[in-house]
Amino acid sequence: MSTVRKTETIPQWKREEVDELVEFIDSFNSVGIVGVAGIPSRQLQAMRRELHGFADVRMSRNTLTVRALEEVDEGVEELTEYVSGQVALIGTNDNPFGLYKQLEASKTPAPINAGEVSPNDVVIPEGDTGVDPGPFVGELQTVGASARIMDGSIKVTEDSKVLEEGEVVDDDLANVLTELGIEPKEVGLDLKGVYSEGVLFEPDELAIDVDEYRADVQSAAAAARNLSVNAAYPTAATAGTLLAKASGEAKSVGLFAEIESPDVVPDLIGKADAQLRALAAQIDDEEALPEELQGVEAAPAPEPVADDDEEEQADEDTEDAEDSTDDDADEDDGDDGGEGLGAMFG
């Protein structure tokens, strides 16, 4: 008994639809699947307009979406596991993190209806409900809220959790939440997964605190720079700081050893002048002093830059290190630290 193999015949309109979906997928650097369940048609159209210029949304039958993803292949077919329920394709030339952030920012609060599963814990907050005394206080108590009549109004006496995440909303709770104007869910395009540059990302991998991440990177860069400076390991980022640090240390040695270098002479003269004034201040008989030293007060002698101070300076963050580099360069009248060191000892 022979079996006849039947070849599936795809209607022309389906073939054209798949071709358009394939073209859509190929035209973006990042392609994802978003859930659209529960979004009213008018609100969905508003979201698509809001995303215009940043991302495009393409809706089609799930079977045709899967076929298009499989035809493109190149790894993007991994998105087929997210094609279930009410979903759509989304494409952008931005990175997946930017797409996730944009979609989350576009979500808006919305009331929850009876029969829906709560996406999070529902809490009725403490405070005056603004509702006049009446049967509503009993409705609040029925759903689990701590409420009573006080000062001519119905008040919730403490924050009351009336539903946990994953539980189904009943009619009584839906009515109470509507009366209080509490909107416990968010409506928007819910990103299921996105494929970009050979990598499949899921929402929990994209939900990062950008400011915290940037601060961590900056902190790591500053720590690496400080390590390079303290280890005297020259790089393009630390060479200037190392030269300024070496120039400062060499200048301190020259000042302590009283080496008559052009870079040190002004400081040596200042140091000698301060010492002379300090000595003159110790002589009681002003007549024994030259006229220009009579009545002068002692000035503190300049101290050489201590090694500990230099090390502490090297431990400062990147911006402080760069500032100190500029200051040292100004003090040296533009001379290079290496040239100053060579002139001082050679």
Q: Which of 158-172, 232-246, 269-283, 323-337 has the highest mean pLDDT?
A: 158-172
For residue 208, is it left (φ>0), alpha (ψ between -120 and 50) or beta?
Answer: beta
Q: 49-53, 54-58, 86-90: which range is least confident on average? A: 49-53
Backbone angles phi, psi at 219, to 5 degrees: -65, -40
The pLDDT value given to residue 302: 52
pTM of this prediction?
Answer: 0.53
Higher pLDDT: 179 or 318? It is 179
pLDDT digits (tens, 9 = 90+) for 294-303: 666 655 545 5
Mean pLDDT of the chain: 81
- Per-residue pLDDT, averaged over 250-275, amounts to 82
Which of 53-62, 84-93, 171-180, 249-258 has the lowest average pLDDT? 249-258
pLDDT at 99 over 90: yes
Q: Report whether pLDDT(165) > 70.
A: yes
Summarize the confidence of residues 245-259 as an average pLDDT. 83
Res 338: pLDDT = 41
Q: Looking at the predicted structure, is the pLDDT value of residue 172 above 90?
A: yes
CATH 3.90.105.20 spans which residues of the chain? 122-182
Q: What is the pLDDT of residue 5?
A: 44
Residue 201 pLDDT grade (very low, low, confident, very high; cuts 50, 70, 90):
very high
Architecture of domain 12-107+188-208: 2-Layer Sandwich (3.30)
Question: Per residue, what are the HEC states of the chain?
Answer: CCCCCCCCCCCHHHHHHHHHHHHHHHCCCEEEEEECCCCCHHHHHHHHHHCCCCEEEECCCHHHHHHHHHHHCCCHHHHHHHCCCCEEEEEECCCHHHHHHHHHHCCEEECCCCCCECCCCEEECCEECCCCCCCHHHHHHHCCCCEEEECCEEEECCCEEEECCCCECCHHHHHHHHHHCCCCEEECCEEEEEEECCEEECHHHHCCCHHHHHHHHHHHHHHHHHHHHHCCCCCCCCHHHHHHHHHHHHHHHHHHHCCCCCCCHHHHHHHHHHHHHHHHHCCCCHHHCCHHHCCCCCCCCCCCCCHHHHHHHHCCCHHHHHHHHHHHHHHCCCCCHHHHHHHHHC
Q: What is the arithmetic mean of pLDDT over 203-218?
A: 87
- Pick 93 or 290 by higher pLDDT: 93
The residue-averaged pLDDT of 7-31 equals 88
The reported pLDDT for the residue numbered 344 is 37
Residues of CATH 3.30.70.1730 domain(s) within the chain?
12-107+188-208
Residue 123 has pLDDT above 80, yes or no: yes
Checking if the pLDDT of 339 tops 60, the result is no
pLDDT in tens, 328-337: 444 444 444 4
Please report the pLDDT score of residue 295 as a whole number: 65
- pLDDT, position 292: 65
Please tell me the CATH superfamily of domain 122-182, with its number: Ribosomal protein L10, N-terminal fragment, domain II (3.90.105.20)
pLDDT-above-70 percentage for the chain = 80
State residue 310's pLDDT score.
44
